[in-house]
Structure 1
Amino acid sequence: MKTLALSSVRFVPSVSAASSNRLRRAADRTRRAASSLVAGAAFAFAAMAPLASLIPCAQAAEATAPAGADTRPANVVRGEYLARAGDCVACHTAPRGKTFGGGLAMETPFGTLYTPNISPDNEFGIGKWTADEFFKMLRTGKSPDGKLIYPAMPIAAYTKVTREDSDAIFAYLKSVEPVHQPNRKQELRFPFNQRELLIGWRSLYFREGEFQPNPSRSVEWNRGAYLVEGLGHCSMCHTKINLLGGSSKSEQFAGGLIPVQNWYAPSLTSDKDGGLGDWSIKDIVDLLQAGISDRGAVYGPMAEVTYHSLQYMTDDDVKAMAVYLKTLPDNDPGRKTGPSATVTPAVFESGQRIYMQKCSMCHGEHGEGKLQHYPPLARNQSIEMDSAVNPIRIVLNGGFPPGTRRNPEPYGMPPFAQELNDTDAAAVVTYIRTAWGNHGQPVTARQVNELRKAPLR
């Protein structure tokens, strides 16, 4: 489970209408079946903000280029690519809303935030902004009127964006259709609705400044670092979030539970138990760009990231990100997942029976899977991790990988929440986590019940 994104000069065309419609129909079927695109095979990536849920439904409108030959200025075309790399449309477009019109509700532990209108509307958007003001906002995390921006926007990552890339993004945003839609008032609880408190947060977690290349590393590595740490803002999901909505530098990219969403974003470090330590560059590239690989498929929040952003990135950029990710150090090399806890024979046999009835047709009698559409469950890191959140959710809610240019007709998994009670669901997840040499821990009916009651996202 892992991910990221960022810039390039080359424009990548939009996904076809047919592919887009297929994904949307799939998402609708999933929601009607009480499903929420969840990670269950190998990665449950998500480029999410620390204070909020940033994942809209798969029907969020996308930025589209003019039909036919693209006659727009090169800077605008490049800006669209960069805006996709930053996944701007996912946060600044409400479900079934107009592109970049804002209004997406982002639930946080502190209340609800609503994303602002960033279309070039003169009254409610950025129509009257200058390129200098836009760049200053990205660099400083402050709006043109001096207000501190809530860190649901990844200000700690966007501060690293270069002036050249900022100007390109601004040129693109100024070229899209204005949306005359007022911005909704934030609904944060006291005292979190007092913006001046952000001064304290910023002193702890915000360091202003452009990305600085490492001269001892290759051009490709630095490009990947810029993409991952900047517009891609991957650490915001893949780093444990504390009670203040911030994260420790020492735990960067080491994985963590995404607040409110109840998804676990796995480690992106070289940790071989839960990270990318034994992943190949090709497997990482395939997962990010196509949504499926020999190691697994993306579901849940990461499926949205791949759909809106990563599938459009150039091969060179995605490979650069993979190269950078492969070098992230394991900050806790002494941590090793121990052997499975003892599972009672009755629970193991019950889980095995359910697995053979409902799972083995796709995932194989011995959890070997059927590559690439049905991920292996044997020796699968996302199955074995300490957190059982993702495998429980995928069993309950099912899901579909995103429809992408490289995988336009994804295979989905049906939800079993209506077929399995808490005890049976716990048994089959326990079986999957402890069979075939997997060293995961058993789960309980109570854990299943808690996630069954969790809001679907």
Structure 2
Amino acid sequence: MKRIFKWGIAALVLLIALAVGVLAMLNVDDRAAQPQPAAAVNPAEQVTRGAYLVRTGDCVACHTARGGRELAGGRAIQTPFGAVYSPNVTPDKESGIGNWSADDFWQALHNGKSKDGSLLYPAFPYTNYTKVTRADADAMFAYLRSVPPVPQKNLQHDLRFPYNQRFLLYGWRALYFRPGVYQAETQQSVEWNRGAYLVQGLGHCSACHTTRNALGGTDLKAELGGGFIPVVNWYAPSLTSDEEIGLGDWDIQHITGLLKNGISPRGTVLGPMAEVVGASLQHLNDEDVGAMAVYLKSLPRQKQASEVKERASPDQVASVLELGGKIYKNHCADCHQASGKGQWPAYPPLASNHAITMTSPVNAIRVVLNGGFAPSTAANPRPYGMPPYGPLLNDGEVAAVVSYIRNSWGNKAPVVSASEVNRYRAVPLD
């Protein structure tokens, strides 16, 4: 018996040692082995390009607290595990990255590790930024070194136990992270590859548009297949399913209009995506936005798995839709038209709008409750907005009008319940 016990202990020790070895191999600090900066670059051009790339990566939005100094950090990124506060990335030597080298910055983007080798939490989307080339990383660093330093100390993350134990990230990274610069697909065009590089890398679109599991990892087999954004409580729709907002049947100019201007004849961006357009995508040049559109339009179409949902009785459905029709006529038809076709560019169409008929009605519910506001962009500097109806309509009435919209003018989707509306009535707006 003692021999069996000893053998069991030995086997356990061996397994632990093996696991530690695997984790160490997967999390090795290979800073010295990474590609070095280009030998000769024009400093002014590099800074200009870096400013563009920093905007492309939406760095300003996350690294700037509301009402705070630009890029000085302090914005709370809310996660299911607690709040992660963005750091100061100005060149202040005490609290920013003034003592960092280009190699240190590359290590953060490519390997998700800070200057001292500590692991960064994946609220910083290094799982996407790892695809960024060394030349682009160096340009971004050059720009960040050029901005005014701001002496603002970083805030401590407010994560619950055990998620505040940083060493656990070794295991998370072993499961969900593999560093690697984007590799062009030779059978695709230069434009397509540029779009893929931006969408997969600096654009980090999959950070929101891909479902995450209980540990915050993404399913690579369902990349860009849609995902609920926890805490924020918005749904980032699938970009690969025509049952949601898959872009396969969209005209390129409509995709580019949505990305760069926030509006298109097919719809308007609202919620978290409005901030992405306002702070980032509108600043991209037409060639890059066009490349992203080409890539997104080419994504393989996937059949969306329908969520099983118990429907109300025919009489109940008829009653809900009748009430919803009356509310729509009184409060919505003047802008969105009795036909549901809207009035572009001011008011988006509701008829044949897959963003309305997605399985999850959360976005439509939140827009009715809290209003809808497109971003202000160069091409649409004074966007029209939709007022909030939460103070005016009760949960049952909001459910009725959303159900009516989801089942009129050829739309077809399950009706919404008052309890679903109540779930989102008091959640934060962003």
Name the TM-score class by shorter chain: 0.7 to 0.9
SS at the partner of 1:73?
Answer: helix
Among 289, 304, 308, the alignment partner of 2:275 is 304
Among 400, 404, 417, the alignment partner of 1:431 is 404
1:224 and 2:216 aligned:
no
SS at the partner of 1:344?
Answer: helix
Q: CA deviation at 1:132?
A: 1.2
Q: Bigger relative contact order, structure 1 or 2, given CA contacts below 8 A and separation 6+?
A: 1
Q: CA deviation at 1:186?
A: 1.1
Match of 1:22 in 2: none
Q: CA deviation at 1:72?
A: 7.8
How many aligned positions are there?
387
1:456 and 2:429 aligned:
yes
**Higher helix share goes to which structure?**
2
1:195 partner amino acid: R
Cα pair 1:295 1:376 within 8 Å, conserved: yes
Identity of matched residues, %: 57
TM score, norm. by length of structure 1: 0.82
Match of 2:178 in 1: 207
Cα pair 1:348 1:427 within 8 Å, conserved: yes
Match of 1:356 in 2: 329
Question: Within 2, Cα distance between the matches of 1:233 and 1:344?
Answer: 40
2:406 partner amino acid: R
Match of 1:182 in 2: 153
The 1:330–1:135 alpha-carbon spacing in structure 2 relative to 1, beyond 3 Å, is same
TM score, norm. by length of structure 2: 0.87
Match of 1:26 in 2: none
Match of 2:360 in 1: 387
Instruction: Give 1:267-346 correspondences, 5 Å limit.
Output: 267-332=238-303, 342=314, 344-346=317-319
1:370 and 2:335 aligned:
no
Cα pair 1:160 1:210 within 8 Å, conserved: yes
The 1:234–1:101 alpha-carbon spacing in structure 2 relative to 1, beyond 3 Å, is same
Q: CA deviation at 1:453?
A: 2.0
Cα pair 2:336 2:350 within 8 Å, conserved: yes
CA deviation map 1:166-188 (0-9, x unaligned): 01000000000001011111111
Match of 2:27 in 1: none
Match of 2:26 in 1: none
Query: Structure 2 stretches of 5 or more lacking a match?
Result: 1-41
CA deviation map 1:101-122 (0-9, x unaligned): 1011122111111110000000
CA deviation map 1:181-233 (0-9, x unaligned): 11111111111011111111111111101000000000000000000000000
2:55 partner amino acid: R
Q: Which moved more, 1:79-88 or 1:327-336?
A: 327-336
Question: Within 2, Cα distance between the matches of 1:272 and 1:384?
Answer: 8
Match of 1:7 in 2: none
Among 113, 127, 135, the alignment partner of 1:142 is 113
The 1:336–1:271 alpha-carbon spacing in structure 2 relative to 1, beyond 3 Å, is farther
Match of 2:25 in 1: none
Match of 1:76 in 2: 47
Cα pair 2:248 2:299 within 8 Å, conserved: no
Question: Within 1, Cα distance between the matches of 2:188 and 2:296?
Answer: 13
Question: Within 2, Cα distance between the matches of 1:330 and 1:254?
Answer: 10
Among 140, 164, 178, the alignment partner of 1:169 is 140
Cα pair 1:270 1:326 within 8 Å, conserved: no
Query: Structure 1 stretches of 5 or more lacking a match?
Result: 1-70
Q: Cα RMSD over matched residues?
A: 1.9
Cα pair 1:105 1:112 within 8 Å, conserved: yes
Cα pair 1:304 1:402 within 8 Å, conserved: yes
CA deviation map 1:364-417 (0-9, x unaligned): 002111112211111110110000000000000002111100111100000001
Among 82, 87, 99, the alignment partner of 1:128 is 99
SS at the partner of 1:204?
Answer: helix
Question: Within 1, Cα distance between the matches of 2:174 and 2:159?
Answer: 21
Cα pair 1:272 1:278 within 8 Å, conserved: no
- Bigger Rg, structure 1 or 2: 2
The 1:203–1:271 alpha-carbon spacing in structure 2 relative to 1, beyond 3 Å, is farther
